[in-house]
């Protein structure tokens, strides 16, 4: 495994490779919450401040209307007094009576300066202008003018509005001059309302005054004069594309417009003038409102921008820390990969050495198997040889005593032992195979009897009491007769060795039949010290030279080949019991195997 493979396995946080480490969910949630809060706050602030500032602007507009109305009434009332005073002036009356108007115009100019009227004219009884502040009007005939006609009809001061054309209106007060019950002329005083228009234009966006018929007679927009208010507001200038974009934005962010002036949404305020049914209307744009609202919104947006900048700064710091941590963990992974590479190389070397060791062990096992086989053959041949030696000694003694017939019997037994030794050598190959191919039905009682016969010479040399307990009928098992007798002889020989130090040595041999066939060999010796190692090869409790430790191991293997098992246990009263358990031979039924213990 190389470095790339190590790094592709998992990232430092234990996540699968192939993806970047995402920002934590809570950071994304915080950013989204900030955006949502900013939008909601800006929207709420814009709506609330727009309503509040619009209401303030409307209140101020209404206050200005009240002020403008008061100024207009004050100007009209001040001008309305002038005709009454001039109509009683003796100089003007004397001039009309004497038809001497040489100083009349000068006197009217002096009065205009003092009063502040727009114009003053003196008309004689025929309607001709005989004196005026504007010398270009001298000699003009006004016989059809409303202010002249109305003044003659009424003995009081009358007010009239005259359209001068080109959107100009003249506002005049006129009064007939009467002396001795005779009408001498008419004094006409013009009210200077254009001065008020100029003052209105400097404060408000647009102001208009309509008469009782709805016609605009005063307005800061000259083109409105002579029109009705709907006619004046009917034309909305078509702005450019950029102006339309700004206009849409202004309309969206402002309160609903009352009217539009020059393409801009404006607020309309209206007030009644207590004079001849006049009304005053003012228009105020939302520009000042938007400026104040936008100033607050700019501060609010700046605050949220600073908050977002701080959040992104914290995220960048966290990203830098993560990057540094990833670099450290990458270095650790490279170091770990190097250690793993060394460990893998070491393990491969150990595996090679292990394979060499396994080959060596296999060779040693082969040699051990050969040694075990040789020891087993030596062990199995010792018993017939010892028996032959005993029978030869007995035959020699019988021949010396002249008992040749009994000696022949000993020789016959020696011949049987030689035959048995040949059978043992022929069975050497069976040690290496599992299961008994060369098995046949064998009477277990006969095999036990033959084994006792083989052990008879050794049993006679010692005071050992042998007790037999066999059933009456045959006990048939599938086994190799020679090898089965070899197992029983090994058990008897171990029992003889176990009771050699006992005064009343006893060996019990029991053959039983149940679900299986059983052969038990019991002695009254000291018992087995270590039952767990009892059937291991080369383990023995005998002194060196007295045993190889292979008898029980070979016997257990032989019994297992027959499908049975060899067990051992110690009796509570003392002594050991070895039991051979073999399946019964039942013709026509499959062979049943037992697990060895």
Domains, the chain, in order of start with CATH, read 57-74+204-289 (3.30.450), 75-195 (3.30.450.20), 438-583 (3.30.565.10)
Measuring CA to CA, how many Å separate 430 from each of 400, 417, 438, 561?
A: 43, 20, 9, 9
CB neighbours of residue 90 within 10 Å: 8
445-449's contacts with Cβ under 8 Å and 24+ in sequence apart are 445/470, 445/471, 445/474, 445/475, 445/511, 447/479, 447/481, 447/484, 447/485, 447/488, 448/488, 448/509, 448/511, 448/519
For residue 440, list its beta bridge partners: 479
Phi and psi torsions of 262, nearest 5°: 55, 40
- Please choose, from the candidates 162, 188, 195, the residue with its C-alpha nearest in 3D space to the C-alpha of residue 82: 188
The DSSP secondary-structure symbol of 570 reads: E
Residues, the chain: 597
Is the backbone of residue 76 left (phi > 0), alpha (psi -120 to 50) or beta? alpha
Per-residue pLDDT of the chain (597 residues; tens, 9 = 90+): 444 444 444 444 444 444 444 456 776 787 788 888 888 888 888 888 777 877 777 888 888 888 888 988 888 888 888 898 888 889 888 888 888 888 888 988 988 888 888 899 999 988 899 999 988 888 888 888 888 988 888 888 999 888 877 678 889 999 999 888 888 899 999 888 888 888 887 666 788 899 988 888 888 888 888 888 888 877 555 455 555 555 555 554 555 556 565 556 677 888 899 988 999 988 877 666 767 778 888 888 888 888 888 878 888 887 888 888 888 888 899 999 999 999 999 989 888 887 787 667 555 544 554 554 565 567 667 777 877 888 888 888 888 888 888 878 878 888 877 877 776 665 554 444 444 457 889 998 988 988 887 777 777 777 888 888 899 888 899 988 888 888 888 888 888 888 888 888 888 999 999 889 999 999 888 888 777 667 766 656 665 545 555 677 778 888 888 889 988 888 878 788 999 999 988 876 665 555 444
- What per-residue confidence (pLDDT) applies to 247? 54
Tokens representing 27 are 């950071």
Our measurement of the distance from residue 597's CA atom to the centroid of its chain's CA atoms, rounded to an integer in Å, reads: 60
92 contact partners, CB below 8 Å, separation of at least 6? 86, 104, 107, 122, 131, 177, 187
Contact by Cβ (8 Å): 198, 276: no
Tokens representing 521 are 């060999």
- What per-residue confidence (pLDDT) applies to 13? 43
Q: Give CA–CA dist 185/83, Å, rounded.
A: 12
Place of tokens 């040889």: 385
Is the backbone of residue 463 left (phi > 0), alpha (psi -120 to 50) or beta? beta
Secondary structure E strands in 9-150: 119-124, 129-132
């Amino acid at each position: 495994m190389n470095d790339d493979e190590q790094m592709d396995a998992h990232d430092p946080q234990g996540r699968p490779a192939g993806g970047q480490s995402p920002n934590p969910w809570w950071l994304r949630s915080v950013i989204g919450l900030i955006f949502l809060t900013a939008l909601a706050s800006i929207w709420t602030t814009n709506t609330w401040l727009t309503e509040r500032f619009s209401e303030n602007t409307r209140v101020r507009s209404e206050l200005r209307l009240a002020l403008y109305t008061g100024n207009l009434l004050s100007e009209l009332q001040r001008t309305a007094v002038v005709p009454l005073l001039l109509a009683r002036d003796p100089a003007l009356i004397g001039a009309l009576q004497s038809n001497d108007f040489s100083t009349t115009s000068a006197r009217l100019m002096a009065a205009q300066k003092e009063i502040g009227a727009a114009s003053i004219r003196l008309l004689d009884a025929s309607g001709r202008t005989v004196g005026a502040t504007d010398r270009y009007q001298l000699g003009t005939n006004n016989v059809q003018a409303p202010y002249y006609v109305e003044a003659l009809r009424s003995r009081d001061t009358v007010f009239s509005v005259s359209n001068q054309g080109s959107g100009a209106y003249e506002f005049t007060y006129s009064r007939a001059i009467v002396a001795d019950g005779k009408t001498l002329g008419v004094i006409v005083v013009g009210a200077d309302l254009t001065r008020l228009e100029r003052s209105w234009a400097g404060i408000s966006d647009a102001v208009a005054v309509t008469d009782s018929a709805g016609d605009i007679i005063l307005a800061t927009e000259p083109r409105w004069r002579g029109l009705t208010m709907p006619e004046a507001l009917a034309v909305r200038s078509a702005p450019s594309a950029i102006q339309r974009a700004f206009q849409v934005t202004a309309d969206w962010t402002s309160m609903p417009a009352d009217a539009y002036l020059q393409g801009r949404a404006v607020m309309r305020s209206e007030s009644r003038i207590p004079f001849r049914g006049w009304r005053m209307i003012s228009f105020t744009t939302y520009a000042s409102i938007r400026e104040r609202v936008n100033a607050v919104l700019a501060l609010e947006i700046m605050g949220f921008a600073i908050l977002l900048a701080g959040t992104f700064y914290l995220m960048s710091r966290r990203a830098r820390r993560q990057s540094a941590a990833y670099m450290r963990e990458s270095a650790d992974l490279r170091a770990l990969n190097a250690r793993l590479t060394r460990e893998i190389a070491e393990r491969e070397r150990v595996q090679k050495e292990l394979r060499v060791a396994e080959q060596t062990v296999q060779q040693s096992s082969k040699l051990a198997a050969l040694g075990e086989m040789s020891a087993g053959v030596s062990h199995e041949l010792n018993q017939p040889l010892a028996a032959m030696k005993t029978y030869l000694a007995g035959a020699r003694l019988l021949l010396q005593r002249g008992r040749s017939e009994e000696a022949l019997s000993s020789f016959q037994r020696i011949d049987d032992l030689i035959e048995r030794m040949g059978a043992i050598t022929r069975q050497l190959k069976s040690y290496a195979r599992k299961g008994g191919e060369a098995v046949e039905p064998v009477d277990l009682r006969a095999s036990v009897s033959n084994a006792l016969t083989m052990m008879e010479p050794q049993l006679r040399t010692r005071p050992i009491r042998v007790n037999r307990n066999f059933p009456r009928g045959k006990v048939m098992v599938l086994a190799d007769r020679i090898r089965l007798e070899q197992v029983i002889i090994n058990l008897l020989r171990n029992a003889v060795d176990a009771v050699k130090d006992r005064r009343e040595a006893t060996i019990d041999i029991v053959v039983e039949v149940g679900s299986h066939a059983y052969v038990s060999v019991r002695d009254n010796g000291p018992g087995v010290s270590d039952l767990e190692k009892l059937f291991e090869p080369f383990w023995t409790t005998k002194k060196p030279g007295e045993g190889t430790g292979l008898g029980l191991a070979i016997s257990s293997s032989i019994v297992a080949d027959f499908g049975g098992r060899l067990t051992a246990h110690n009796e509570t009263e003392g002594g050991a019991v070895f039991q051979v358990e073999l399946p019964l031979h039942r013709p026509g039924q499959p062979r049943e195997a037992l697990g060895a213990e």
